[in-house]
Structure formats: structure tokens, C-alpha cells
Chain A
Amino acid sequence: MTEFIDVDVRPILRAGGEPFSVIMAALERLEPGEGLRLYAPFKPVPLFDVMASKGFAHREAELEGGEWEIRFMRDDGSCEAAEAACATSGDSDWPEPVVHLDNRDLDPPEPMVRILAAMGRLAPGQTLCALLSREPVFLFRELTKRGHQWRGGFTSKDAYQLTVRVHA
């Protein structure tokens, strides 16, 4: 079970400051088994490489207003173990998925067809969780068109976890 230390860099960036040193300082204070939860006004892509070089995997979730919540965990296999905890802590406002799909070995675009077909059987507000072998860039446009919300990110090098909530 990963405990997360929160770092919110949104006020620093809004004030025109540079949050990198704050993030690094927080990183040094982490105890074994602890992760870092970062709140940012944009997706801090350059930081991902820096954190990866320090041995941290990340999971990302888009918040309202284009803001992002990124969870950094030590990339020692604990990431997958912490998966359940991550899902409950970050997605507390979303109900537990009623459908789980493992689409990692399906030929594209079969993963997309299966997810959309399963979504059609869910009630408003219900969620579905799917594992994929890559980021489903062409699925997102269909989800957007249908008004569904989604959260997703790589949980390891070749597994992408996607949670979709049916438009309520």
C-alpha cells in the first residue's frame, strides 16, 4: 500500500515561480514505500523523464479545468502492487468498475470495439476498467464524441490501464 505525499505546484506556477526544486526536495524526504502525488496546471511531460531516471514510474489523471494529478511511485514492481490503492485513492468519486477487460493480446482495433461494446451495456455513471498494450489514441475521440469520461496511464512498460465512466 503506497502512501502519497502531496505536492501542489499550481500556486507556485500561478505566481510565476519555478517548482522543480520544491519537487526535488519533496522527493528527498520520501520514506521507502512512499510515493509523490503532484498537482499541476498542465501535464508535466518533461518531468516524467527526470523522474524515470530517478527510478519513478508515474500514473496520470486529468482533473477538471485541464489540470493534472500525477502519482509517482518507485518503479520496483510496487507500482502494480499499489494499483488497487491508487485506483481507490485517486478515483474516489468514481464507482468501482463493474466490467474488467484484459485487451492486451487483441489485434487492433479489436480492443476499441470491445470497450465500446461493453460501454453500451453499462448504466449511466458506471465504470469499466480495461488493460491495453498501448495508449488507445483512436479510442479517445470516440469516447469524447459519446460524452464518456476516462482516466488512463501506463502502469508498466507495456500495460496501459484505462478506466472509463459512462456519461451520467
Chain B
Amino acid sequence: MIGTSLCRWANSYFAVAILWLLLAEGLIVVGFGFPNSDIGGPDTLVIVHIVCIGWVSTVLCGALFQFVPVLVARPLYAERLTLPALALLTLGLTVLLAGFLALGGHFNGPPWLLPFGASLLIAGFALVVANLGMTLWSARPLPGPARFVAGGLACVCVTAVFGGMFSLVLSGTAIGAQWPDLLESGVPIHAIAGLGGWLTFTAMGVSYRLLAMFMLAPDGDARLGRPAWLAGVAALTIGLVGGVLALWRMTGLNPALLLAGASALLSLAAYGRDVLGLYEARKRRTLELNTRMSLVAVASLVAAALLAAALLATSSFPLHVGTIAFLVAFGWLTGLVLANLYKIVPFLTWLETYGPVMGRVPTPRVQDLVAERRALKWFVLFFAGSWAATLMLLIDAAFGFRVAVAVVMLATLGLSEEFIRARRLADVTGPLRLPAGAAAPHLLVSRN
């Protein structure tokens, strides 16, 4: 029965993350990275890491700092560690990107850029994992959704360890030279743990609780999420253990990946069924824009899974890894995050602004902080652009892909403006906007 307070820096995390997303989209639009260059090349690595670390990981960390306390009804272990973590993640990613650019011959950088950037990132993620881990630890036994987050935190550790080792190999250090085969077998582990374990698994767990919370759906069923959790843990374990065994040449990599993929599909199927169940059981009949758009994001995830299965069946999967990765990163993760930010930012702003005067003077509703009709067109553009871009990758049309991503970027800019308008209370009109005793919120920092 401990009250949850506002995380001071959550909005700063969101803002930094959106800037990274816009940078990634901008780079793709001007033709930087895949598909105009090699999928494993340094330029593509720049884009992949901006999207996965700068955008999705940063926004996820901010959301977790705010919502893990809600998941487990415990205060955050150390609020004061949230800002240093953001600084380390941002600085670490910047140095890492410089390392990739040097590797790609864009400038003459020292060889220590990659390992140094990786170390800063590992330090940043260590602060995040320690902070959230201690919060979860204080709430044992963990409720279902929080277990997904715990699994995700374990996976980000694996991702970071492999990333650190790659940085040593890629920068040509003596230590890295001892692992000549690391990149070949290690990259799938790095990607499975990062995209599958940390980003997708954690997003699944948080969405269970947030969807139920915002739709007034009963989420007390102990079975909710259990099949998705068990199959997901199986997928990650098989993928990671199989990958490590393959690294030591004890087994081939492909059988492990195939088994892990099958378990992952099972997990996603169970998750999809749970989410549909929550939508059906909701008491709130009219769906708000954020819940409708979350559903579209989940549809993208289903589409990615089906596409991956079809490509595997026709043995053309290796040719189209980039297509699947793009659909997962944009249609699913980015779509889900933007849809939820569209609720989270106004909700936190409302709580911060009107909480102190609530019950004393009339206050606007959370819905009054947004204009759904205006935002809907940005979401439509976003998903249409993401799917068009996926299609362009599938048919190998590099220019068409860039045009589609330009549409996605335009939609991102539009949604960013919506978030800023919510923070500025721009859509709340009349005397309700700032009643006596309420103070206008700052753009990036919350009063808690």
C-alpha cells in the first residue's frame, strides 16, 4: 500500500529517446546504412544501435523507472541514480557510434572508441539494472508482469556482455584477437537477448499491466501471462544456451535458433491471446487512441512472426533478416512505445499539474490534455509508412524504402509535437487550464 510518486526524469528519458529516433530516421532517409550498404557493415550498425539503445532502450528505461514501482507496489530503489544512468547511456552511445563511424572509414578515430563507448554503456545499463533489480527484489514473490521485466533485465546483461566483447574484437585489441569466431556465432545471441529478451519481453510484461490499467480490464487472473512467460523463457534459454554451445563449436547454431524460434512463436501466440482477452474483458467500452494503436502494434508483431515463419519455410530467411528486424523495431516496438507515450505523457503531466489541487477546484480530465483526432492522422501515417517500408525492403526497393521512412519520420515529428503540446497543456482551454494552486509543468523535468 505504498503510493507511487512521479519519476522526476522520466520525461527527460522520453525526450532524449525521441531525438535519437528522429536521428535514425533522418540517417535512413538520406541513404545511410542498410539497404544502401552492407547489412552487417559499420553504417548499418550505427542505425541499429541508435534505434535499439538510443531510442527503444532509453524510452523503455524511463517508462520502467515510472511503472516498475506500479507493477510491484514498491517505491523505486534509488531515484537519484536515474539521471546518471541517462547521462552514461547517452554518452556511451555517442562514443560507440563514433567508434562505428571510425570503423567505417568516415574519420580517423582512435581504436579505443568502441571499447570505451561499450564500457560507458555497460555502466549505464548496470545502474538501470541495479536500480530496477533492487526494486523488484524488495517485492518478492513477483507478480506475473514483473517477472517479464526481471527476465528482460537478465537479458540486457547478456546483451551488454556480448556487446562489450564485440567491441574488443572489432577494435582489434589483443584480447579480442583470442575470439576469432565470436562475431559469427555471438551476433545472434546478442540480437536475441537484446531485441527478444530485453526489448520485446519487457514491453510484453509492462503492456499486460498498462493495458489492463487504462482499459479497466480485470488483470487479477493468476494464469494471465503464464503460458507466454513459460514459452518465452524457454525460447530465450534455448537461444542463449544453444548460441553459447555453438560458440564453443559443440553444436550447430541453426537447430538451437529454430527451436528457440518455435518457442518464441508459442510465447507470442499466448501473449496475443492474453491481450485480445484483456480487450474483450475491458469495462471501458470506448477504446482510446493509445489502446487502439497498441493493438495495431501487436498486429505488426504478429505480421513479423508470420513473415519470419514464411521466410523460414521458403529458406529465404537469411536474405530478409533486415526486413524482419525493421518490422519488429518499427511496426511493433516503436509503434507500441509511441502509442503508450501518447497516454503516459499526458497522464503523468495531468497527475503532476492537477494532483495537488484535485478535489479542491475543478480540474480537466486526462483526455482534455490531448486531441485524438489530430494525433490519429500521425499514427495512421506512422504505421502506413512502417508497413510500406517493410514491403519496399521485401522487394529490394532501396529508394522506395527511404521515401517510406521519410513518411515515418514526418509522423514521428507530428507525434513529438503532440507530446510537447500535452506537456505545455496547450489543448486545455479556459480557466481549467491552470486553476489556482496549480503550477505549469516543466517540459523535461517533473516535480515529484
Chain A residues proximal to chain B, CB less than 8 Å: 43, 45-46, 49, 60, 62, 105, 107-110, 112-113, 115-120, 133-135, 137-145, 150, 152-154, 157-158
Docked-complex contact A143 and B3, CB < 8 angstroms: yes
Residues of chain A within 8 A of B356, CB atoms compared: 142, 145
Chain B residues proximal to chain A, CB less than 8 Å: 1-5, 69-70, 73, 139-141, 213-214, 216, 218-221, 283-284, 347, 350-351, 355-356, 358-360, 363, 365-366
Docked-complex contact B359 and A120, CB < 8 angstroms: yes
Residues of chain A within 8 A of B360, CB atoms compared: 116, 120
In the bound assembly, the distance between CA atoms of A143 and B2 in angstroms comes to 11
In the bound assembly, the distance between CA atoms of A133 and B216 in angstroms comes to 8
Q: Which secondary structure dominates chain B's binding surface?
A: loop
List 24 A–B pairs whose Cβ atoms lie within 8 Å, in order of A's numbering.
A43-B1, A46-B141, A60-B1, A107-B284, A109-B350, A113-B359, A113-B363, A116-B359, A118-B359, A120-B359, A134-B219, A135-B1, A135-B73, A137-B4, A137-B69, A138-B351, A140-B3, A141-B3, A141-B4, A141-B5, A142-B3, A142-B355, A142-B358, A158-B218
In the bound assembly, the distance between CA atoms of A105 and B284 in angstroms comes to 8
Docked-complex contact B3 and A139, CB < 8 angstroms: yes
Top 8 closest pairs, chain A to chain B, by CB? A140-B3, A116-B359, A141-B3, A117-B359, A157-B220, A137-B4, A158-B218, A116-B358
Docked-complex contact A105 and B213, CB < 8 angstroms: no
Question: Residue on B with the closest CB to A140?
Answer: B3
Docked-complex contact B141 and A141, CB < 8 angstroms: no
Residues of chain B within 8 A of A60, CB atoms compared: 1
Q: Known: A60-B1, A138-B4. Contact between A113 and B358, CB under 8 A?
A: yes
Residues of chain A within 8 A of B366, CB atoms compared: 109
Partner of A109, one of B73, B139, B219, B351: B351
Residues of chain A within 8 A of B1, CB atoms compared: 43, 60, 62, 135, 140, 150, 152-153
In the bound assembly, the distance between CA atoms of A110 and B216 in angstroms comes to 12
Docked-complex contact A45 and B4, CB < 8 angstroms: no
15 new A-B contacts, CB < 8 A, other than A116-B360, A141-B3, are: A60-B1, A108-B216, A109-B347, A133-B218, A137-B4, A137-B69, A138-B355, A139-B3, A140-B2, A140-B3, A140-B4, A143-B3, A145-B356, A157-B221, A158-B220
Question: Residue on B with the closest CB to A142?
Answer: B355
Question: Residue on A with the closest CB to B283?
Answer: A105
Residues of chain A within 8 A of B218, CB atoms compared: 133, 157-158
Residues of chain B within 8 A of A142, CB atoms compared: 3, 355-356, 358
Residues of chain B within 8 A of A158, CB atoms compared: 218, 220
In the bound assembly, the distance between CA atoms of A118 and B214 in angstroms comes to 23
Question: Residue on A with the closest CB to B3?
Answer: A140
Docked-complex contact B216 and A137, CB < 8 angstroms: no
Residues of chain B within 8 A of A49, CB atoms compared: 141
In the bound assembly, the distance between CA atoms of A80 and B355 in angstroms comes to 32
Partner of B213, one of A43, A134, A150: A134
In the bound assembly, the distance between CA atoms of A72 and B4 in angstroms comes to 26
Residues of chain B within 8 A of A140, CB atoms compared: 1-4
Query: Min CB distance, B267 to chain A, in Å?
Result: 24
Question: Residue on B with the closest CB to A109?
Answer: B366
Question: Residue on B with the closest CB to A105?
Answer: B283
Docked-complex contact A137 and B363, CB < 8 angstroms: no
Query: Min CB distance, B290 to chain A, in Å?
Result: 13
Residues of chain A within 8 A of B363, CB atoms compared: 113
In the bound assembly, the distance between CA atoms of A152 and B73 in angstroms comes to 13
Residues of chain B within 8 A of A143, CB atoms compared: 3
Question: Residue on A with the closest CB to B221?
Answer: A157
Q: Known: A49-B141, A140-B4. Contact between A133 and B355, CB under 8 A?
A: no
Question: Residue on A with the closest CB to B212?
Answer: A134
Query: Min CB distance, B448 to chain A, in Å?
Result: 9
Question: Residue on A with the closest CB to B214?
Answer: A108
Question: Residue on B with the closest CB to A139?
Answer: B3
In the bound assembly, the distance between CA atoms of A112 and B4 in angstroms comes to 14
Query: Min CB distance, A56 to chain B, in Å?
Result: 15
Residues of chain A within 8 A of B220, CB atoms compared: 154, 157-158
In the bound assembly, the distance between CA atoms of A110 and B350 in angstroms comes to 12
Query: Min CB distance, B143 to chain A, in Å?
Result: 10
Docked-complex contact B214 and A137, CB < 8 angstroms: no
In the bound assembly, the distance between CA atoms of A62 and B3 in angstroms comes to 13
Query: Min CB distance, B364 to chain A, in Å?
Result: 10
Question: Residue on A with the closest CB to B347?
Answer: A109
Docked-complex contact A133 and B283, CB < 8 angstroms: yes
Residues of chain A within 8 A of B359, CB atoms compared: 113, 115-120
Residues of chain B within 8 A of A115, CB atoms compared: 359
Residues of chain A within 8 A of B69, CB atoms compared: 137
Residues of chain B within 8 A of A112, CB atoms compared: 358
In the bound assembly, the distance between CA atoms of A157 and B219 in angstroms comes to 9
Query: Min CB distance, A161 to chain B, in Å?
Result: 12
Residues of chain B within 8 A of A113, CB atoms compared: 358-359, 363
In the bound assembly, the distance between CA atoms of A107 and B284 in angstroms comes to 7
In the bound assembly, the distance between CA atoms of A107 and B5 in angstroms comes to 20
In the bound assembly, the distance between CA atoms of A143 and B4 in angstroms comes to 11
Query: Min CB distance, B382 to chain A, in Å?
Result: 26
Docked-complex contact B73 and A137, CB < 8 angstroms: yes
Residues of chain A within 8 A of B139, CB atoms compared: 45
Query: Min CB distance, B388 to chain A, in Å?
Result: 35
Docked-complex contact B355 and A137, CB < 8 angstroms: no
Docked-complex contact A137 and B140, CB < 8 angstroms: no
In the bound assembly, the distance between CA atoms of A112 and B363 in angstroms comes to 12
Query: Min CB distance, B30 to chain A, in Å?
Result: 43
